[in-house]
Amino acid sequence: MSIGARWRPWPAIRLDVAVASLFLVLCTSPPIFAAETIERPSKWIGRVAASDAVFGWPGSGFTLRFEGTSLSITLVDAGQNSLEIELDGVPQRLDLQAGQHRYQLADGLQQGAHVVRATRRTEGWIGDTLFVSAETDGSFLPAEASAEEMVAIGDSITAGYGVEGVGPGCKFTPGTENQYLTYAAVAARSLGMELTTLAVSGIGLSRARKGTKTMLDVIDNGTLSRSGAPGLPDERVSAVVINLGTNDFSDGKNPSDFGGEYAKLLSRLRYQFPKAYLYAALGPMMPQKDFDTAENAIKAAVQTSVAKGESRLRYLNLRVKPKDFGCNWHPSRSTQAAMADLLEQAIKADRGRHG
């Protein structure tokens, strides 16, 4: 039974990959000719609750590297999440069904080594996804070493809320969300960087909204709903982009504690990512007056950190002029792409400056 996988207009599709990709189906029978089965992937992608084999942050998921002609996976999900499946670099959408199901990701491939990347299009509040197993008719291979890494921290803009909807009037559904099309994901792919996205729609940093968790409350979680321990210093991460403030300053708000909370976040990130360049970004939503207030607060936090000796930190304006909108006035695919260009240019410039 087809689960609604659909093609997008991606160029230069190899015939063997295109044919194999047609097998993104929900399987109702036991796996056939499974030469090897594993209960953990070759590599996790992004922030996950690895001990429980659960992933929930947008853009999180796993890599499977295998030698063979077929591949299937078994997952448990609540039934509203979708994944971006990249088979040898060719992306396709996979909608998950409620409960435990096996999904045939490839069949009839040419014999040889292949790589599948599976990442969540959807964010954490929609529910976690459990990795149960993967099966191939050949054998699984060790994952290749990671390249440079990027971390993106933000709200609905960074999660990809409504990016595939035709806005601004369309209502959000999980089907309109796609982290794969966000500015951070597009820039990371262009730069050859692995990405971890920590984003929650509606989140901010100010504690003025009583009873609402802030990014500092959840940033260490394995998934949005599963607590985690603060990460140890990670020198593999070379860029961190923070796009927070939209929910703190919208509708004329100007929370007095924002600057202090932002400073706490910068301090935590500098400890955890000692070699990374930090980009304190903002945009593209909010009326000009609210944007100016938020921008001034973020710039002040940046200037304070720089005055204390921080040398790899700068403000990044991502307020591009939209040509169109996603759902509820959120950035469309074209706006996200324009933001990605700005982020990529900044990272390239700072790579050259700092080597």
d(CA 63, CA 45) in angstroms, rounded, equals 7
Structure tokens at 48: 């996950």
| Span 183-218, pLDDT tens digits | 999 999 999 999 999 999 999 999 987 778 999 999
% of the chain surpassing 70 pLDDT: 90
Per-residue pLDDT at 219: 97
Which position has the higher pLDDT, 209 or 348?
348
Per-residue pLDDT at 94: 98
Per-residue pLDDT at 18: 40
Q: What is the DSSP string of 134-193?
A: EEESSEE-PPPPP--EEEEEESHHHHTTTTTS--SSPPP-GGG--GGGSHHHHHHHHHT-
Structure tokens at 223: 């998934």
Mean pLDDT in residue range 12-21: 38
d(CA 238, CA 150) in angstroms, rounded, equals 6
Structure tokens at 231: 């990460």
Q: Between helices 183-191 and 333-354, what is the axis angle to 10°? A: 50
Whether 223 and 54 have beta carbons less than 8 Å apart is answered as yes
Give the pLDDT band (50/70/90) at residue 316: very high
Q: Is the pLDDT of residue 63 over 50?
A: yes
Give the pLDDT band (50/70/90) at residue 346: very high
SS3 category, 285: coil
Q: Give the chain's domains with CATH numbers.
A: 15-140 (2.60.120.260), 149-354 (3.40.50.1110)
Q: Is the pLDDT of residue 9 over 50?
A: no
Q: Is the pLDDT of residue 5 over 80?
A: no
Q: 109: closest CA among 35, 31, 20? A: 20
Give the pLDDT band (50/70/90) at residue 7: very low
Structure tokens at 329: 């006035």
